[in-house]
């Protein structure tokens, strides 16, 4: 079966899908994206991703290419045409195509691309059962990490460093030695006295949709939560650590740099929250 992509109004074979060379996403990274996890053919946490997409577009003053109802139909159609049961759907919206000029062109029309593909849910589940390693490195990003921009160079460099260190994710660290977030995930610890802790929302991190849901799940379990920064040192002494993202859901960490966490096995709270998440997120 051949893959299908949606590009500016048409469903086209994935291997023939293309955008113009003067698309501003290509030339300036002038665009935003969203990723929905697909489980059992359904989009997880759909509404949250729509809300964040609208916010990212608004912050960059890029026009929404269509309304949410229409977009929802197209997203589901791309998933359906690609017969994805467990996987993801990726959406990218850029400011559009125009002769190269830094300033916003007048009357430009946004470009939209949507793709969908399966992911190996069993492999992700195995990683979660076993726990993963993270490394820490300097956060080299710009001052608006709250916008889900396609400009991801520092994130990909961080992830590559993790891969080269045989780790799963890289935690980025601000100038004060405090963890901001992962290259494509939010960072969490459970402190020695059992407080679930994650950095508070600001321009320093992306407001994860999974993060938001996990906070609600923690509240339902009456877990004590603190939204505050934590240092790499505190994380290394924590009872548990984990990451959250649409792709990883809740994935326990068993090693930070060379320090073993939670005795090298997935923490109890992380496992419980992962289970809760899987039960609650399907829309």
Residue 92 interacts with ligand PLP (CB under 6 A): yes or no: no
Task: Show the CA angle centred on residue 237, arms to residues 235 and 243, nearest 5°.
Answer: 35
Residue 245 interacts with ligand PLP (CB under 6 A): yes or no: yes
Q: Which of 23, 30, 139, 181 binds ligand PLP (CB under 6 A)?
A: 181
- The CA distance from 115 to 132, in Å, is 28
Select from 244, 241, 245, 219 the least CA-distant residue to 231. Answer: 241
Q: Which of 211, 252, 273, 281 binds ligand PLP (CB under 6 A)?
A: 211
- The CA distance from 213 to 225, in Å, is 13
Select from 94, 115, 116, 108 the least CA-distant residue to 26. Answer: 94
* DSSP annotation of 21: T
Q: Which of 92, 110, 149, 210 binds ligand PLP (CB under 6 A)?
A: 210
Select from 28, 30, 73 the least CA-distant residue to 50. Answer: 73
Q: Which of 56, 82, 94, 185 binds ligand PLP (CB under 6 A)?
A: 185
Residue 154 interacts with ligand PLP (CB under 6 A): yes or no: no
Nearer to ligand PLP, 11 or 33 (CB): 33
In the bound complex, what is the minimum distance in angstroms from residue 226's beta carbon to ligand PLP? 19
In the bound complex, what is the minimum distance in angstroms from residue 148's beta carbon to ligand PLP? 7
Q: Which of 56, 110, 244, 254 binds ligand PLP (CB under 6 A)?
A: 244
Active-site annotation holds for 148: yes
Question: Under 8 Å CB-to-CB from 28, ≥6 apart: which residues?
Answer: 102
Active site residues: 148
Binding site for ligand PLP (CB under 6 A): 35, 155, 181, 184-186, 206, 208-211, 244-246
């Amino acid at each position: 079966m051949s893959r299908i992509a949606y590009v500016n109004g048409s469903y086209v074979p994935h291997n023939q899908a293309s955008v113009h060379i003067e698309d501003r996403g290509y030339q300036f990274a002038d665009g935003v994206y969203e990723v929905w996890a697909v489980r059992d053919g359904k989009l997880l946490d759909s509404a949250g991703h729509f809300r964040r997409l609208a916010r990212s577009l608004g912050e960059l003053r890029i026009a929404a290419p269509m309304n949410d109802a229409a977009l929802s139909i197209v997203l589901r159609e791309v998933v359906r045409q690609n017969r994805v049961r467990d996987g993801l759907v990726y959406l990218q919206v850029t400011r559009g195509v125009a002769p190269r000029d830094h300033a916003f062109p007048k009357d430009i029309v946004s470009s939209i691309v949507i793709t969908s593909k399966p992911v190996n849910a069993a492999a992700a589940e195995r990683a979660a059962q076993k726990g993963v390693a993270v490394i820490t490195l300097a956060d080299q990003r710009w001052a608006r990490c709250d916008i889900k921009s396609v400009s991801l160079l520092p994130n990909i460099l961080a992830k590559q460093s993790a891969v080269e260190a045989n780790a799963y994710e890289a935690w980025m660290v601000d100038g004060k030695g405090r963890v901001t977030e992962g290259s494509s995930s939010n960072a969490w610890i459970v402190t020695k006295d059992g407080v679930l802790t994650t950095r508070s929302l600001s321009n320093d991190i992306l407001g994860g949709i999974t993060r938001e849901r996990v906070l609600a799940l923690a509240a339902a379990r009456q877990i004590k939560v603190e939204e505050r920064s934590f240092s790499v040192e505190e994380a290394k002494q924590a009872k548990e650590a984990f990451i959250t993202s649409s792709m990883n859901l809740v994935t326990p960490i068993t090693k930070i740099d060379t320090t073993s966490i939670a005795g090298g096995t997935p923490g109890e709270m992380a496992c419980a929250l992962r289970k809760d998440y899987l039960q609650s997120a399907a829309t």
